[in-house]
């Protein structure tokens, strides 16, 4: 087996024939974070709700740390948001006492950031990854034809959702994170950089999950329970690999075992890097899913919980010509 691993996965409703332009304009992709809990309005952490355009989440967090003269680890946020988009999210900064002369306009101009600070408050804890309730998306696909065919797909997605694949962004540009994972897990190369090792680990177990899910889609049982399935919140699940025996049995376990057999070395190694086996739902059900046509443009609105990918919804609708590259 080589490290040139295919990223293709099975389509739930057949490979789309329609194409659309994706991310033609910055405002074609809008994300609003939903915290799902109230901030305390007191405490040692300054919290800022920031709307940003074309800015990377980590980049903004690093600039906040520099501007307020704190360590990067003192800045928290709930999730990485897309760069080529308008995104609104909360940041926390461990700052027991904010300087009285803080000039937030200077923060924007000093680092040439396209950001707007919407609200400021305080909280008793640092904001942690995945602590939020979800993300609300509004996405515009342009120059799209074959509307009649797409209406049927959209109705099916509204009824059954889509396979809960990890998006290709998890695997890095051109699958680079998987190449790194293969060299680490199979060839025995050492990854000294902690962040890169974490990316390789995440990419590897995400890829294994996608393999199992793709086989379930191929067998048309990804949104149905088969004998021996581990069901969580009403949905069948597949493993996120790590230490511990699989909780599935019967037909479900046989399917997982067969799908992952070519990657037994990956599985063995992932059991020895501190990860414990977890489960992830096979089915992604977009909440409040709706759509609107304007000539040849299709605007989609939906809400996803943390860890689920909007691109996994879009790929079932049409083929995307990404204009942001």
Tell me the pLDDT tens digit for each residue of 11-52: 999 999 999 999 999 999 999 999 999 999 999 999 999 999
Alpha helical stretches, state H, 71-193: 104-110, 147-160, 176-185
Alpha helical stretches, state H, 186-324: 194-218, 250-260, 264-270, 310-314
Mean pLDDT, rounded, for 295-302 = 96
Distance in Å from the first CA to the final CA of the chain? 31
Q: Is the pTM of this model over 0.95?
A: no
Buried residues in 178-202 as b, exposed as e (16+ CB within 10 A): bbbbbebbeeeeebeeeeebebbbb
Tell me the pLDDT tens digit for each residue of 144-168: 876 667 999 999 999 999 999 999 8
pLDDT at 212 over 80: yes
pLDDT band at residue 2 under the 50/70/90 scheme: very low
Backbone angles phi, psi at 312, to 5 degrees: -70, -25
Interaxial angle between packed helices 194-218 and 176-185, expressed in degrees from 0 to 180 and rounded to the nearest 10: 100
Mean pLDDT, rounded, for 107-130 = 96
pLDDT band at residue 230 under the 50/70/90 scheme: very high
Average pLDDT, the chain: 94
Strands 235-240 and 278-281, bridge-based pairing: antiparallel
pLDDT band at residue 100 under the 50/70/90 scheme: confident
Identify the pLDDT of residue 275.
87
pLDDT band at residue 4 under the 50/70/90 scheme: confident
Tell me the pLDDT tens digit for each residue of 151-210: 999 999 999 999 999 998 899 888 999 999 999 999 999 999 988 999 999 999 999 999
Domains of the chain and any CATH numbers? 37-131 (3.30.2350.20), 164-284 (3.30.2340.10)
And the tokens for 103?
Answer: 């000039």
Catalytic residues: 82
Identify the pLDDT of residue 1.
42
Contact predicate 137/303, CB 8 Å: yes
And the tokens for 83?
Answer: 């760069």
pLDDT at 278 over 80: yes
Identify the pLDDT of residue 243.
94
The Cα 135–Cα 133 span in angstroms is: 7
Contact predicate 52/86, CB 8 Å: yes
| Least reliable range by pLDDT among 4-18, 39-53, 62-76 | 4-18
Mean pLDDT, rounded, for 231-240 = 96
């Amino acid at each position: 087996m080589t490290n040139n691993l295919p990223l293709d996965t099975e389509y739930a409703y057949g490979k789309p024939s329609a194409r659309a332009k994706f991310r033609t304009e910055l405002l074609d992709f809008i994300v609003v974070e939903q915290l799902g809990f109230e901030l305390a309005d007191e405490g040692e952490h300054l919290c800022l709700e920031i709307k940003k355009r074309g800015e990377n989440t980590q980049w903004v967090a690093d600039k906040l740390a520099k501007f307020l003269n704190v360590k990067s680890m003192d800045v928290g946020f709930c999730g990485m948001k897309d760069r080529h988009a308008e995104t609104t999210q909360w940041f926390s900064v461990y700052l027991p006492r904010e300087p009285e002369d803080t000039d937030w306009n200077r923060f924007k101009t000093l680092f040439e950031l396209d950001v707007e600070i919407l609200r400021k408050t305080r909280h008793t804890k640092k904001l942690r990854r995945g602590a939020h309730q979800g993300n609300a998306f509004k996405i515009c696909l342009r120059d799209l034809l074959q509307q009649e065919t797409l209406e049927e797909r959209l109705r099916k997605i509204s009824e059954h959702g889509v396979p809960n694949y990890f998006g290709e962004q998890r695997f890095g540009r051109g699958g680079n994170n998987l190449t790194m994972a293969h060299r680490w897990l199979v060839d025995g190369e050492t990854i000294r950089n902690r962040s890169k090792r974490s990316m390789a680990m995440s990419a590897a177990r995400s890829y294994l999950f996608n393999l199992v899910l793709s086989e379930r889609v191929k067998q048309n049982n990804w949104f149905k329970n088969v004998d021996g399935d581990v069901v969580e919140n009403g949905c069948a699940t597949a493993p996120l690999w790590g230490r511990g025996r699989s909780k599935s049995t019967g037909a479900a376990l046989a399917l997982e075992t067969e799908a992952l057999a070519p990657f037994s070395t990956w599985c063995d190694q992932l059991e020895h890097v501190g990860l414990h086996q977890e489960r992830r739902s096979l089915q992604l059900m977009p909440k409040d899913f709706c759509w609107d046509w304007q000539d040849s443009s299709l605007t989609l609105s939906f809400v996803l919980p943390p860890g689920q990918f909007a691109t996994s919804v879009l790929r079932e609708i049409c083929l995307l010509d990404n204009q942001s590259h």
